[in-house]
Structure 1
Amino acid sequence: MANPKKVGPARELLEAGLSNSAIARQLHMDKRDVAQLRSEMGLPNIPAQPLTVEQKWRERTAPLPGGHLEWTGERATGSGTPVLRHSGQAYTAARIAYRIQHGTDPVGHAAPGCGRQHCVAPEHIDDTARRQRDRAALRIVLGSPDRPTHCRHGHDQAEHGQFLPDGRAYCTRCVADRKRQTTAVC
């Protein structure tokens, strides 16, 4: 049974229209106890998530000059990456923005291609495949030589080759190996 000291505040929150889950989290109660109070009070259940993930995403953006969009919602601890939780799932805001613009999920990592960190404007978000295609095209425009078939350590560049924003080629396998060596030394 619910802690008697929490019943009063729970009733107030129920009358204010909060969901059972929100009240349980806020008051550190069992959801079943909150549901029982709701039933006793004759209040209807709150729909779990009335908004689609895209609608919820739109509620957490604000326009910035230059057509950029700022994320006003939750951010990941440490990186500051804009994130959205919806129906028990966590998404990056860039992933949802890519889906809004292209109608499909991104291939690989979704990130802004406009140069503004954490911009979530759908038309500014690229996936890994699109970024690599554009960077390979930049190499052609700049007259850079074709990417070698293998890096100097013998890694197949069809599998591990990527391009930096300026069109320079690099090997993701070599980068991962260097990171492993650095963390092993520390």
Structure 2
Amino acid sequence: MKLRADVADMLREGIAQRDIMRTLHVSYKTVTSHRIALSLPAPKRGGHPLRPIETEFHARTEPVDGGHLRWTGHHAHGVPRLGRQGKHPSAYRVAFRLHHGREPIGHAKPGCGYAQCVAPAHLEDRPMREQLRSQMAGIFGGAR
């Protein structure tokens, strides 16, 4: 088998098979056959190690006036989302868990009045909202 010098060089440099395929516009079969012919080990699976979720979360936020955090990452159906390992949890749930150390019960939502605020201390889950509603009804009277 005749080896392409560019494919062989990239394999020897340790460049990922996927990157070689994209850069040189060659097939998986071409890269694999070259790797076998050069007696190079199979590529490691798993890619890059995951950064901590706190790091991923804060990398996609931007502080705004009033102590709020604006989400600069992905949104799906108007909800801020954090893509991680093929899953897309709500940024609200991630922030709530970071601040309170537990999963929210029901939906986590900003309770501060700032639209789509993801500041961890500003998020409330269902029991927190129900308690606030009950307290407000006790102070101001319930709806008639």
Same topology, TM > 0.5 = yes
CA RMSD of superposed structures (Å): 3.5
SS in 2 for 1:136: helix
Structure 2 gap ranges (5+): 1-5
SS in 2 for 1:131: helix
Equivalent positions of 1:17-56 (< 5 A) are 20=18, 33=28, 40=35, 47-56=47-56
Equivalent positions of 1:141-160 (< 5 A) are 141-144=139-142
Q: Hey, what's the Cα distance between the residues in 1 that align with 2:58 and 2:84?
A: 13
| Percent identity between the two aligned chains | 32
Q: Hey, what's the Cα distance between the residues in 2 that align with 1:48 and 1:128?
A: 37
In the alignment, is the contact (CA less than 8 A) between 1:114 and 1:124 conserved in 2? yes
TM-score scaled to structure 1, two decimals? Answer: 0.55
Counterpart residue number, 1:172: none
Q: Hey, what's the Cα distance between the residues in 1 that align with 2:126 and 2:49?
A: 31
Letter in 1 for 2:56: K
Q: Hey, what's the Cα distance between the residues in 2 that align with 1:128 and 1:120?
A: 16
Structure 1 gap ranges (5+): 1-6, 145-167, 170-186
TM-score scaled to structure 2, two decimals? Answer: 0.69
- Specify whether residues 33 and 63 from structure 1 end up closer, same or farther in structure 2 by C-alpha distance, changes over 3 A only: same
How far 1:124 moved relative to its partner?
A: 0.4
1:56-78 alpha-carbon deviations (Å, 9 max, x no partner): 111101100100001011000xx
Letter in 2 for 1:89: K
1:68 partnered with 2:68: yes
Counterpart residue number, 1:120: 118
Q: Which of 85, 94, 97 in structure 2 is aligned with 1:96?
A: 94
How many residue pairs get aligned? The number is 123
Q: Hey, what's the Cα distance between the residues in 2 that align with 1:57 and 1:138?
A: 33
How far 1:134 moved relative to its partner?
A: 0.8
More contact order relative to length (CA 8 Å, sep ≥ 6):
2
